[in-house]
Amino acid sequence: MKPNKAVIDYLATPRPFLVNGEWITSDENLIENSIDPATEKVIGSFYAAAIQDVNKAITAAHSSFQQKNWRGKTPSEMAKHLWTIADLIDEHGDTLAYLETLDGGKPFAAARYGEVSMAAESFRYYAGWCSKIGGRTTDISIPGDFHSYTKKEPIGVVGLITPWNGPLVMAAWKIAPALAAGCSLVIKPSELTSLSTLYLGKLISEAGIPDGVVNIVPGDGETVGATIVNSPMVKKVSFTGSTETGKKLIQASAGNLKKLTLELGGKSPVLVFDDADLGKAIPGIADGIFSNAGQVCVAGSRLYAAPEIYDDLLSGLIDYANNLRVGSGLDPKTQMGPLISAQHRNKVLRYISDGIDQGAKVEAGGNKIDGDGFFIEPTILSDVAPSNCVAQEEIFGPVLSIIKIENMDEAIVQANASNYGLAGSVWTQDISKAHKIASEINAGIFWINCHGIPDMAVPFGGYNQSGWGREGGPEGLDYYLETKSVIAAL
Ligand code: ADP
């Protein structure tokens, strides 16, 4: 496949960034290259925001909030705008998907029919909420004649910081509820994958969102990201990224008590009982770890299998891994693309070799793939001790660790013996057992006989060190709102 003309034209010049409705290009700004991880070649570039640009963006968002340019609109008008953004995303779906494939290495079909569609759906879902935000009346017990009610108000200017593994969809997951709540915002995409968020900015402007309400400032985390987090004008930050960076944000926000929602790392357990339908479990589990080359926070990376089906499950998974088509996302036959960068691939390979040093056995893959692109083989490790680093730490690559267990009671204990608590899944045909396990496992989202299925209506976020708060559903919207209580003496 070849990228369409719209993508080629878009990538022909360095992409400007968006502050107060203006697309900024300036000799004073650094131009950052974007690399295709499948070829290691430069595909395009963008202007990185400097600290003064970020401050201008925050001020613009603040003024638009003060002037009620957006939050002053009726719920119906807001909903129409969000719905228009969704339609524009669909209309430009191929272009956005090519950008995700070229910039992040995703197979085109996954980008086009998974992530781009879900980005559009985020705006449609929260368009529906614009007219449903409201407070309640309360009868109070203080003697006298009073009328009391609550109101929901937008929290103010919000800072949105996204990672490289799903740039468009994560931008949409944050921008849509922020706008539905009536907030103004400054978003910083990952320095590795900024192009699709900048393109989304074009569509948001085209949809008629007033100037200053949505500002996009690409650049690195330590300068652009930290400026957003440190600004007292920014009332809340929604962050998706590593647990390590999440902890830095907590420290940086301590000074101004900024509200934070953090969607961080995971080490999701997958439990397979002896009555599982292996015909469905094998591709489902493999997809749960190998999709997006394992660069997914909910990747099912720890496998606990009942001894009765262990051999059949393992041989099915090995077969799947060995036959997975690894290559460029532009090849329609590709099932797994590259890792995002050379540095990240080195990190994943180091985990594999440390895991082997700590006693794991390689059942499939384990190596980098020579040639251009940051490819590695889909990897399965068995005989993994619970204390092994590949059982404990988030690898963020296509590496499945099969943990040694004697029985499924032990599996439940082991599954919960983690610092993380983002997701998990169980495979069994016994419906009662499935729901019991769902309530036993410490995880923000849990799947039964599937893994990794997202939906905007379903809250998403983590227990333990996997984060604070939720995205999606009414819960996700609430983090962009404040509750005001009013008591009137009549
Ligand atoms: P990853 O390792 O997956 O890239 P990070 O947590 O490093 O995850 O990055 C996620 C996002 O956080 C990126 O947009 C990155 O630029 C940003 N970021 C990194 N460091 C900071 C920081 N100190 N303050 C704010 N944002 C940061």
Q: Give residue 29's pLDDT.
A: 81
From 210, 152, 160, select the one nearest 181 (Cα to Cα). 152
Residue 86 and residue 124 in contact, taking contact as beta carbons nearer than 8 Å = yes
Q: What per-residue confidence (pLDDT) applies to 448?
A: 98
The letter for the amino acid at 158 is V
- CATH 3.10.350.10 assigned to 268-455: no
- CB 456, CB 180: distance < 8 Å: no
Give the atom of ligand 1 at the shortest distance from the alpha carbon of 396.
3
Q: How many residues does the chain have?
A: 490
Instruction: State whether the beta carbon of 44 lies less than 6 angstroms from ligand 1.
Output: no
User: Is residue 55 over pLDDT 90?
Assistant: yes
- How far does the centroid of ligand 1 lie from the alpha carbon of residue 433, in Å? 39
pLDDT at 471: 97
List Cβ neighbours of 426 (8 Å cut-off, separation of 6 or more): 270, 271, 272, 273, 433, 434, 437, 438, 441, 446, 447, 448, 449
Mean pLDDT, residues 353-358: 98
- Amino acid 420 reads Y
- pLDDT digits 0-9 by tens, 170-219: 999 999 999 999 999 999 999 999 999 999 999 999 999 999 999 999 99
CA 79 / ligand 1 centre spacing (Å): 31
The answer to whether residues 293 and 105 touch, using CB atoms and an 8 Å cutoff, is yes
CA neighbor of 100 nearest in space, from 329, 288, 289: 329
CB 248 less than 6 A from any atom of ligand 1: yes
User: Which residue is associated with the tokens 């001020």?
Assistant: 59
Distance CA(435)–CA(421), nearest Å, equals 17
Alpha-carbon torsion angle 214, 218, 221, 225, nearest 10: -20
- pLDDT classification of 105: cutoffs 50, 70, 90: very high
Q: Which residue has the tokens 């082991």?
A: 414
Residue 161 Cβ contacting ligand 1 at under 6 Å: yes
Position in ligand 1 atom list of the atom nearest CA 189 = 14
Mean pLDDT, the chain, integer: 97
Among 210, 208, 83, 229, smallest CA distance to 160 is for 229
Of 71-75, 242-246, 425-429, the range with the lowest mean pLDDT is: 242-246
**The pLDDT of residue 28 is above 90:** no
Provide the CA 212 distance to its chain's centre, in angstroms. Answer: 25
Q: How far apart are CA 207 and CA 279, in angstroms?
A: 46
Query: Is the CB of residue 245 below 6 angstroms from any atom belonging to ligand 1?
Result: yes
| Cβ atoms 322, 364 nearer than 8 A | yes
Q: Calculate how far, in angstroms, residue 39's C-alpha sits from the geometric centre of ligand 1.
A: 24
CB 131 within 8 A of CB 75: yes
Q: What pLDDT is stored for residue 449 in this prediction?
A: 98
Mutate to test the pocket of ligand 1, among 242, 245, 258, 296 (most ligand atoms within 8 A of CB): 245
| Assigned CATH for 5-264+466-487 | 3.40.605.10
- pLDDT score, position 47: 97
The whole-number pLDDT of residue 27 equals 80
Whether the CB-CB separation of 221 and 192 falls below 8 Å is answered with no
Give me the percent of the chain exceeding a pLDDT of 90.
Answer: 98
Question: What is the average per-residue pLDDT within 64-76?
Answer: 98
Phi, psi for 34 (deg, rounded to 5): -105, 135
Residue located via tokens 């009671």? 409
What residue segments make up the domains of the chain, in order of their start? 5-264+466-487, 268-455
Give the sheet arrangement for strand 234-240, strand by strand.
22-24, 17-19, 214-216, 184-188, 157-161, 234-240, 259-263, 467-468
Cα 149 to ligand 1 centre (Å):
40
- Structural contact between residues 324 and 376, judged by C-beta atoms closer than 8 angstroms: no
Distance CA 478, CA 448 (A): 27
Domains 5-264+466-487 and 268-455 share a fold: no
- 336/364 Cα distance (integer angstroms): 15
Give phi and psi for 148, each to the nearest 5: -130, 140
At which residue do the structure tokens 């227990």 appear? 463
Residue 404's pLDDT band (cuts 50, 70, 90): confident
Region 101-109: what's the mean pLDDT? 98
Rounded to 5 degrees, φ, ψ at 162 are -120, 155
User: In the annotation, is 263 catalytic?
Assistant: yes
Q: Which atom of ligand 1 is nearest to the CA of 219?
A: 16
CB 22 within 8 A of CB 202: no
Structure tokens at 255: 């000074």
For 250-294, the pLDDT digits (tens) are 999 988 899 999 999 999 999 999 999 999 999 999 999 999 999
Q: What pLDDT was estimated at residue 255?
A: 85
Residue nearest to atom 2 of ligand 1 (CA): 242
The Cα 265–Cα 11 span in angstroms is 32
Ligand 1 centroid – CA 88 distance (Å): 28
